[in-house]
Amino acid sequence: MITKPVVLVGPMGVGKTTIGRKLAKKLELDFLDTDVLITKSHGPVPEIFAKQGEDFFRGFEEEAVEQALSKVQIIATGGGAILSSVTRERLGSATVIYLSTNGKHMKSRLEKGNRPLLENGMEDWHRIYDERRSIYESVCTFEINTSEVGLAQIISNICEKLESL
């Protein structure tokens, strides 16, 4: 029985939204993507970055995570949500799953998206992931490696870990 919010953290493109939707369906919980919440209130993420900057966006992200944590549900966060000390502290009230990756499949996943922080493509992705990896590890309840594993197995692995908590 899930008694507190379950938050998915990890790098851009790792599959937090896709995994979150499937996990929510399996656990019969609501799903919320904080980037969608921000977009509904403030406009498209790339536009916020372009017009107001990353700091402004991170403020909106803090608010979105706070709002999301008010309910027992599955929550997908943006890759940089954990950069905020306020957000990291708030995540203490949730079960936090770090979706890690070896990065092999990221290029194909990220080619289609409009990601403001990836001006130099995979070079930026690797740098950002390396900078954030220890923070993901520090906030998580447990880690699930998404490399070389299909979606169904990832969901199964998460459910197994959640049951053992």
94-135 pLDDT, tens digit each = 999 999 999 887 777 666 666 667 777 788 898 999 999 999
Q: How high does pLDDT run on average in the chain?
A: 93
Q: Can you tell me the distance from the alpha carbon of 152 to that of 141, in angstroms, rounded to the nearest whole number?
A: 21
Tell the residue number behind the tokens 């919320």, with chain if given. 32
- In angstroms, how far is the first alpha carbon of the chain from the final one? 10
Residue 3 has pLDDT above 90, yes or no: yes
Fold of 6-163: Rossmann fold (3.40.50)
Q: How far is CA 92 from CA 19, 61, 101, in A?
A: 21, 17, 23
> Can you give the pLDDT at residue 121?
76
Residues 6+ apart with CB under 8 A from 100: 10, 14, 133, 136, 143, 144, 145, 146, 147
> Can you give the pLDDT at residue 100?
97
Average pLDDT score over residue span 132-139: 98
Select the more confidently predicted residue: 55 or 118. Answer: 55
Residue 154 has pLDDT above 90, yes or no: yes
User: What would the two tokens of residue 16 be?
Assistant: 């937090």
Please spell the DSSP secondary structure of the chain, one letter per residue: ---S-EEEE-STTS-HHHHHHHHHHHHT--EEEHHHHHHHHH--HHHHHHHH-HHHHHHHHHHHHHHHTTSSSEEEPPTTGGG-HHHHHHGGGSEEEEEE--STTHHHHHTTS--TT-TTTHHHHHHHHHHHHHHHHHH-SEEEE-TT--HHHHHHHHHHHHHT-
Q: How far is CA 152 from CA 19, 23, 81, 102, 146, in A?
A: 9, 10, 26, 19, 11
> Can you give the pLDDT at residue 123?
87
> Can you give the pLDDT at residue 77?
98
